[in-house]
Amino acid sequence: MARLLQRHWTKVFTESFNGRQDVDLVDLACGEGEVLALAAETAVALPATRLQAVGTDVAWDAVALAAQPVGDVRPVPAVADCARLPFSDESFDLAVSQYGLEYAGAEAFLEAGRIVKPGGRFHALVHVKGGAVEVSCQEVADLLGAVIEIALLDRMSDFIVTIPRAVSGEVSGEEAQSCADALRLALESVARVTGGAAPGPARDHVARLVQDCQSAAGRLGAYRTEDLQVWIEGQKAELAAFEHRMTSMVRVAQSEERLRDVVENLKAVGLEVSALETLAIEAGAPPLAWVLDARRSG
């Protein structure tokens, strides 16, 4: 997938840069700047092209990473909501986005079209409903949601407090055994769910979590309770954030009907939009993205 996306963007940038001496480019919802870096690398390989690049995202940490220089290209970071861009009309030769604008809503696509100069281009890859990315994200979200519902980390939190209290005689042996049984059942349940999940980073993450809980439970005396509590809260937050990212991707995946509405809106503000296509690893494979390409005559 990474190789396919790299080839796609290199082709887009080569087409867009050839014959231009100066190019103003903006990467919308740029994330950590993978697409910006490819744009810069393409420009560096074309000595006649001077690229002025901007990376914009709602997250400062992301645009700070995206602004790393590549050769003579030093992208400018801009924190902004893509549905309300701080740029004047017709200010960029090329506006691009990869899996980003759909998070900001339909207005973001219109904003992208608004800032394209006469003779300029807007090109975006958009999450496709029913495509490979959505299916994969839903599988991951289901796995993480199941782990959260089993409440393994809550059982672990009970265990690290109850067992030391049982050792000191503050709680009964029966209560301690019940707590240990609850943790064991939660570990077994998570292990079963993980064993049936597709290979990938999410399954690896959950498998490591199970191993870490087992290790900590077996060597409870080697850790301070306070330190384990901090670790547990951190793991809970990480799981919740991971699940949120996956469910967000599923939520913003665009149906053909919704994307055709975007196309009509772009046409209404004066852009010429190419026929909708999808990007796939191979013929017949589930699509990875919608390919949205629009130009402003000039």
pLDDT at residue 20, as a whole number: 87
Comparing 10-19, 84-93, 227-236, 279-288, the range with the smallest average pLDDT is 279-288
This prediction has a pTM of: 0.86
* 256-287 residue pLDDT tens: 999 999 999 999 989 999 999 999 988 888 99
| Selected residue with higher pLDDT from 70 and 181 | 181
Average pLDDT over residues 155-184: 94
**Is 25 within 8 Å of 52 (Cβ atoms)?**
yes
Please, is 214 exposed, middle or buried when counting C-beta atoms within 10 Å of its C-beta (0-12, 13-18, 19+)? middle
Kindly report the average pLDDT of the chain as a whole number. Answer: 94
Read off the DSSP letter of residue 97: E
In whole angstroms, give the CA distance from residue 86 to residue 217.
52
In whole angstroms, give the CA distance from residue 222 to residue 259.
56
* 2-61 residue pLDDT tens: 899 999 999 999 999 988 899 999 999 999 999 999 999 999 888 888 999 999 999 999
Q: How many C-beta atoms lie closer than 10 Å to residue 270's C-beta?
A: 13
pLDDT higher than threshold 90 for residue 73: no
| Cα dihedral 121→126→130→134 (10° resolution) | 160
In whole angstroms, give the CA distance from residue 22 to residue 282.
35
**Rg of the chain in Å (alpha carbons):** 25
